[in-house]
Amino acid sequence: MVDLDCKGKIASSDNMPTRSPRPSSSNKLTSLIPPPPVRALDLSPASETACIAYEHYLRLPEIKELWNKQEFPEWRNESVVKPALHALEFTFRFVSIVLSDPRPYTNHREWSRRLESLATSQIELISMFCEEDIGTAPIVDVNESKGVLTREGSSADVWKLNRRDEVATVLLSVASEESLLPRLDTWKKAENIAHHIQYSIECNMRRCSYTLGLGEPNLNGKPSLQYDAVCKPSELHSVTKTPPEQANVNNYENRTLFTTHQILESWIHVAIHLLKRIESQIDSNDFENASNNCYILERIWKLLTQISDLHLLMDPDDFLQLKQQLDIKTSSETESFCFRSKALIVITKRSKNLRHKVPYILDVEVDPMGGPRVQETAMKLYRMKDDAVKIHMLQSLQAIESAVKKFYYCYKQLLVVVMGSVEAKGSLAFVTVDSSDSLAQMYLEPTYYPSLDGAKTFLGDYWKLEGRR
In this predicted model, what pLDDT tens digit does every residue of 352-403 receive, in sequence order? 999 999 999 999 999 887 788 999 999 999 999 999 999 999 999 999 999 9
Segment 207-218 mean pLDDT: 94
Least Cα distance to 267 among 89, 50, 59, 43 occurs for 89
Has residue 364 been placed in a domain?
yes
What burial class does residue 196 get, using C-beta atoms within 10 Å of its C-beta: 0-12 exposed, 13-18 middle, 19+ buried? middle
What burial class does residue 187 get, using C-beta atoms within 10 Å of its C-beta: 0-12 exposed, 13-18 middle, 19+ buried? middle
pLDDT at position 384 is 93
Sequence-distant (≥ 6) Cβ neighbours of residue 349 within 8 angstroms: 43
Its domain, for residue 406, covers: 1-21+38-59+295-469
pLDDT tens profile 58-115? 999 999 999 999 999 999 999 999 999 999 999 999 999 999 999 999 999 999 999 9
- Phi, psi angle pair for 172, to nearest 5°: -125, 125
Give dist(CA 116, CA 196) in Å, integer: 7
Sequence-distant (≥ 6) Cβ neighbours of residue 373 within 8 angstroms: 3, 364, 365, 366, 367
pLDDT tens profile 228-243? 999 999 999 988 877 8
- Provide the CB-side half-sphere exposure for 304 (13 A, CA): 30
* Predicted confidence band of residue 23 (pLDDT cuts 50, 70, 90): very low
Give dist(CA 151, CA 369) in Å, integer: 67
pLDDT at position 239 is 85
Per DSSP, which regions of 85-209 are E strands? 139-140, 154-161, 169-176
* Predicted confidence band of residue 468 (pLDDT cuts 50, 70, 90): confident
Has residue 256 been placed in a domain?
no
Cα-to-chain-centroid distance, residue 57: 22
DSSP 135: S
Q: Residue 225: which H helix or E strand, with range? A: strand 224-225
Give dist(CA 223, CA 243) in Å, integer: 37
* Predicted confidence band of residue 149 (pLDDT cuts 50, 70, 90): very low
State whether residue 58 is helix, strand or coil.
Answer: helix
Has residue 260 been placed in a domain?
no
Give dist(CA 280, CA 258) in Å, integer: 34
Please say whether the dihedral angle defined by the alpha carbons of residues 244, 262, 68 and 405, taken in this order, is positive or negative.
Answer: negative
pLDDT at position 435 is 54
Residue with the bigger pLDDT between 192 and 427: it is 192
Has residue 151 been placed in a domain?
no
Has residue 309 been placed in a domain?
yes
Has residue 68 been placed in a domain?
no
Give dist(CA 268, CA 275) in Å, integer: 11
Give dist(CA 45, CA 289) in Å, integer: 31
CB atoms within 10 A of CB 15: 13
Segment 235-258 mean pLDDT: 85
Sequence-distant (≥ 6) Cβ neighbours of residue 334 within 8 angstroms: 436, 437, 438
Has residue 332 been placed in a domain?
yes
The answer to whether 440 touches 433, Cβ cutoff 8 Å, is yes
Has residue 396 been placed in a domain?
yes
Domain count, the chain: 1
Average pLDDT of the residues of the chain: 84
Evaluate if residue 36 carries a pLDDT over 70. no
Evaluate if residue 294 carries a pLDDT over 60. yes
